[in-house]
Structure 1
Amino acid sequence: MQQISNSKQSWLVPLICLFAGGALIGISTNLAKYAVAVGLTPLAFLFWALMGAAIILLAAALLRHQPPPLSARSFEYYFVAALVSVAGANLLLFSAIPHVGAGFVALIISLPPLLTYLGALMMRIEPFTVMRACGVVAALIGVGVLAAHKFSAPEASVFWIVVALCGPVLLAIGNIYRTLRWPDDASPTALAPGMLIASVLLLGMMGLVPGFSVTVPLGELLPLGLILLQACVFAGQFLLLFLLQKTGGPVLLSLLGSVGAVVGVPVAVFLQGESPPEGLILGASLIALGIALVTWGGVKMAAEPLREPKEQS
């Protein structure tokens, strides 16, 4: 019984990471919209904010005597994870925000659970359980209800909606990749800054392409302050992401976006002045139900192996 109790307590850490990390994602999407309003391009805002977050997390890792590993396997991990999970996905989402709204982007970040769950089943990372499958489907239906209303709006930009929807696909690929290729004996504290540094390098190379730039208006304090705030948000977000990856698995990790939607949409409505999405109550309720089912299913999975020896005895 003590083992079962400890198993249940072990789910407190991933739950805290899930809700705290999801809240930061919701805040991040709204900061990205505000950044465009004060004259920052999505690429410049993302580049400098990620650089600040990389510095913060690298300093934290060095203070804990856990520097990023420098093996060939680790470098592969950093750059592939950076491309699909950070640089590529966030650049698509941040670029789409001015055209489709921060609320919509916060909602579609909830889409990775189904793709992640299917990939995890195919690669035998996750065993199939009815409860967790129902939770993922419920969250997906909730986002689908909201996305369908967005497509049917008369002012909808189909191109930018499609661009935004590509972001969750990359996020789901990243969830699976990071689980499969996690370097041996590497801690989340060590891996997070390595991935962010790789993201900064990739975005910096993109800034050299004609038509793209990472320059910021240095004479104004508001853009610089916004970049610093986003850097702190990114630092917390990606550290929690890696902790959740290690303690909760790829499917629970993918629900970060669902929590981000629950936080990001009200912020977009009440603080950014966006119109509430049609079907918000139904969609948010289904998302919350999905989170509950997936989480409780994970608790049962962790407890059942510990119950079997007692039952056999």
Structure 2
Amino acid sequence: MRRNLNVERIKLSDIGEEKVIETIFSIIDKETRRITLPYGDDAVAIKLPRKMNLVINVEMLVGKTDIPPGMSNVQIGKKVVTMCISDLAAKGAKPIGFLTSIGLRRDMNVRDLKEIYEGINIAARKYGVKVLGGDTNETDDIIIDGIALGIAKKVIPRSGAKIGDIVATTGFFGNTAAGLKILLESLPVEEELKRRILKDVYEPRAYIKEGCLLAKKGLVNAAIDSSDGLAISLHEIAKMSNVGIEINNLPITEEAKKFAEKTNIDPFDLVFYGGEEYILILTISKENWEKALNEVRKVKGKLIKIGRVIDERGKIMYKHEKEERIIEKKGWQHFTT
């Protein structure tokens, strides 16, 4: 009885998003025979005939926590799709369909609703899928639930990183963290720099071509998208792969670098402790590195080498020249951030 009373007193804000998920997993019955990705990965993958996998991802956008000031209705719609497609990209799955449920305030303008769905349709078209259906309901805040469906012959887990792998990303970091500081803390920045930074906040993209191509060619051992921030994503790969990671190249955008200089904010924090970038973080063997670079160039993408997988389980660190810092597991977490 005492134990139950203690549980009743614990709030979600006391334990954070990671423990919330662990609590849910401790209760539900788990499928083990028909899935090819472990619970807790970016998506679920279900075995299909002919050695194919159906890859499914679900994401939720809530107005209070996920819509930054100044984001247009069309951009809101685009973001919902991008959030879901990004996780398919991390698993190497080709998108084949999208569903969405939406909770709306009764005083919302019909025009706003139309603009959100225009954004959803624009993004769906960009990633080569159709909106297949969904549901509507009445809520006190805008809530949009997205489900992306994809197929893949080979899926890339978070848990496949191997000692000696190169750690790489498909883009540079820092703009979303800088942008949110501009929007939420009203930090003064010149207009042109502000415009370039906020573009990444309002118009994120999913790296679907890169993810699908690298998976198809079998060139990636582990992958995750950086929606929760680079630091958390590195920790997740390391935890699920039972390895450590050493970063020796800070993948920062030119805009974030200038922002850090002008505001005296540590660029390290902008790069590692942001979130909402949707950049892919990959581990690739040294033998496959050049092949991977060449394949990504074919779709006009890039791979940035930022570090390596090391044989020190759970150790996530930044080491460059004489500088050495621990990369803490922090970033965007619901219920505590």
| Shared fold per TM-score greater than 0.5 | no
TM normalised by structure 1 equals 0.29
TM normalised by structure 2 equals 0.27
Higher relative contact order (CA 8 A, sep 6+): 1
Q: Report the structure, 1 or 2, having the larger helix content.
A: 1
